[in-house]
Structure 1
């Protein structure tokens, strides 16, 4: 069934790979676009490369589920954050999401059904050394709300998830298991553990489900409770 195809950007590793695997378990056909892996290979920081990859993805038929997962972190203090870093973060974290939705939207509208999931971050609420990252991840929350309002009449929902500390290769490289800095992060989490990619995939599966059709415009923080007292009620 073409309605079961789901496009996942950045789905070759980490959270994206876990979401792709969960989608397979749910009976969907994951279509992954990433710089590496077995899916469609493309540098999604380039609008032109993104357009070509989307054209390739749609050759297999309409896509009615979209996970805007790809993103980049460019940590720096506000004094040292460069405009080039900001432009890169905007292109990969925001522009790519809009471009992907615009490509798959006609198929969703024709089907009268769609699920859009934006992978934001707890950093959207504020985090030091994350000017470009936090701004673009907060921008995804704006996209989520606007798209929910505009697309609801077509049977299309749009929601977001905001992962907290998740044990990916990138996270573990920056925060080695057993290191004091890593332990400090764990101590700040009410559940007293680092999250797993599968924790995020569980939430993604809920929002992508056909039965989640009366939930739209919402953000779910998958963070072990770290956002309690910080996120708005």
Structure 2
């Protein structure tokens, strides 16, 4: 009997790292479900348009995950950042960034875990950031991503006996579409980022996707509660 294809849900899948991961996993035979607010022009699987910062839309998505076929993998890639100095951060702004980054990851994990437990297998990966090592102008974002890494460790401990792993991938500066809008090639912004990276270049989204795909694979079955920094050495010495 043919085994069912592994199923993965990827948030923030319309572009950048999420889209690169969707293309990679589809090429390896995964059934891919992408989620983002805007539908991309092309997508290698099912796509669900959902505003993840809307509590009602998120609750509806979580209910469909809980009621649907079990997921093999869940990749929480959606995130929201804000450029800010610590002294200027207000509590409403801080809490809004935490909510945007953490609530989808929490609710979708809660929805996916019962099916994973029943299957005796599951992979959860949170996409975080090298800014958790310390970075200026990212007070709220760094705190949110650090909390995601902590959430992955808690899931790892609680679910290890159920065949479920939970890890995080922390990218360094990556040449996504959004990055290029804010930091064109040759710009002072690009130069500032490159100055942080010993390898002297930006990551390609596909490189981050390959790291995530590894943690989703059977070969990574004994890795859990780990944060994998894919940053060209940018986090060294921090």
Structure 1 length-normalised TM: 0.93
Match of 1:200 among 185, 208, 219: 208
Residue 155 (1) aligns with residue 157 (2): no
SS of the residue 1:228 aligns to: coil
SS of the residue 1:159 aligns to: strand
Match for residue 20 of structure 1? 22
Match of 1:169 among 159, 172, 177: 177
Stretches of 4+ moved more than 6 A in 1?
A: none
Match for residue 144 of structure 1? 152
Aligned residues between the structures: 230
SS of the residue 2:207 aligns to: helix
Structure 2 length-normalised TM: 0.91
Contact 1:31 1:57 in 2 (8 A): no
- How far apart are 1:56 and its partner, in Å? 3.4
Residue 229 (1) aligns with residue 237 (2): yes
Please say which of residues 81-90 and 196-205 is displaced more in the overlay: 81-90
Structure 2: runs of 5 or more not aligned? 41-46
- How far apart are 1:180 and its partner, in Å? 3.0
Residue 132 (1) aligns with residue 140 (2): yes
Contact 2:10 2:76 in 1 (8 A): yes
SS of the residue 2:86 aligns to: coil
- How far apart are 1:91 and its partner, in Å? 1.6
Describe how 1:42-121 pairs up with structure 2 within 5 A.
Answer: 42-57=50-65, 60-121=68-129
SS of the residue 2:200 aligns to: coil
Contact 1:167 1:197 in 2 (8 A): yes
